[in-house]
Structure 1
Amino acid sequence: MNWLLKIERLLCRFEFLVAGVALLVIVVSTAIAVISRNVFNSPVIWTGELSILAQVWLTFIGASAVYKERGHVGMAGLGQALPPRLGLLVTTLADIALAVLLVFVAVTIIHLMSNQWAQTLSTLGLPRALSSLPVAWGMCSITFSAAISTATQLKTLVQGEAS
């Protein structure tokens, strides 16, 4: 189990890095758009599409990283508001429900992506599937983390009853 936790930590660091790069791309492409339009009176057409693509990456990859840190308010708050064993049980059930839901979403997105590789984004010319890839990544990554969390929580619940 420790090796899975190490993989999860590395994955979390990588996701924070990707989210940070996506945020930087948003800032730079927006700055380019503003400067080109207001200073040179010649708008650059690809900046809006690049910014939106980076925002999708930031949102879904960032959400996955934040989930690993238990940074989502609703997830952490509910479990902490209840008595310890009940809170752990509720958190475990929420992780299981989330994993099941995200598997269905990931399968749907991956199916959608199979049709999008041949389509291109209008100004960037990149495959449209690049806008769905972070969604699939996020869903699969959160499911992986929820499975690890569930296993750890179930182990704690079982050991708690044995003692």
Structure 2
Amino acid sequence: MAVAKAINKVSDLLDKICSVILVAMLAGMVLTTSLQIICRVFFTALSWSEEVTRYLLVWSTFLGAGCVYKKGGHISVTFAQEKLPQKLQKVAQVLVHLLCGALFAIAVYYGFKYMDKQGTQLSAALRIPMSLMYMAIPLGCGALLLHAFDAIIQIFVKKEVAGE
């Protein structure tokens, strides 16, 4: 039970941190795009703004997926699951989270491999290592994996609490 609480706290903390980072990234995207529009109309276009916006979008996509998964906000088809008896619904939920967790684990593994393979390149405008951009894949999917693991544990913890 203590391990379940600890994992849940880590998952919640990660979700809060990612939410704050997401707000900052989205604000950065808006500011960069607005600055690019102003500079393009009145001055000379910025050479780096599209790259910054693109990389912020990639990072916000991977971090945002974890926040949405944590809250159960991804689109899902539950009509078949709702037809099952209560106990089988829990089994189906666990199987879905296990399947998602397997996908996330594979994405983490191959994300690190891709980051190592392609990370030595430099970005065109900013001249920063592309490994910083490719790092979004394993880190974002790692957060998703943690949230999936937490969701599975919470299904069993709720079952134990309800049974007491």
TM-score calculated relative to the size of structure 1: 0.87
Counting aligned pairs with the same residue, the percent is: 22
Q: Aligned to 2:128, which of 106, 126, 129?
A: 126
Q: Paired residue for 2:7?
A: 4
Q: Aligned to 2:105, which of 103, 106, 109?
A: 103
Q: Which runs of 5+ in 1 are unaligned?
A: none
Q: Paired residue for 2:52?
A: 50
* Cα root mean square deviation, aligned: 2.3
Partners of 1:89 and 1:151 in 2: CA distance: 12
In the TM superposition, residue 80 of structure 1 has moved relative to its aligned partner by 7.3
Q: Which amino acid aligns with 1:35?
A: I
Partners of 2:79 and 2:101 in 1: CA distance: 18
Q: Paired residue for 2:27?
A: 24
In the TM superposition, residue 118 of structure 1 has moved relative to its aligned partner by 1.8
Q: Which runs of 5+ in 2 are unaligned?
A: none
Q: Is the 8 A contact 2:119 2:134 kept in 1?
A: no
Partners of 2:13 and 2:156 in 1: CA distance: 23
Partners of 1:14 and 1:78 in 2: CA distance: 33
Q: Greater RCO between the two (CA within 8 Å, min separation 6)?
A: 2
Residues 39-89 of structure 1: CA deviation (Å, up to 9, x unaligned) = 22x1001000000000001111011111111111317x5587445333322
In the TM superposition, residue 151 of structure 1 has moved relative to its aligned partner by 2.4
Q: Is the 8 A contact 1:16 1:62 kept in 2?
A: yes
In the TM superposition, residue 158 of structure 1 has moved relative to its aligned partner by 7.4
Q: Aligned to 1:113, which of 78, 100, 115?
A: 115
Q: Is the 8 A contact 1:92 1:154 kept in 2?
A: no
TM-score calculated relative to the size of structure 2: 0.87
Q: Which amino acid aligns with 2:102?
A: V
Is the alpha carbon distance of 1:63 and 1:87 closer, same or farther for their aligned partners in structure 2, counting shifts above 3 Å? same
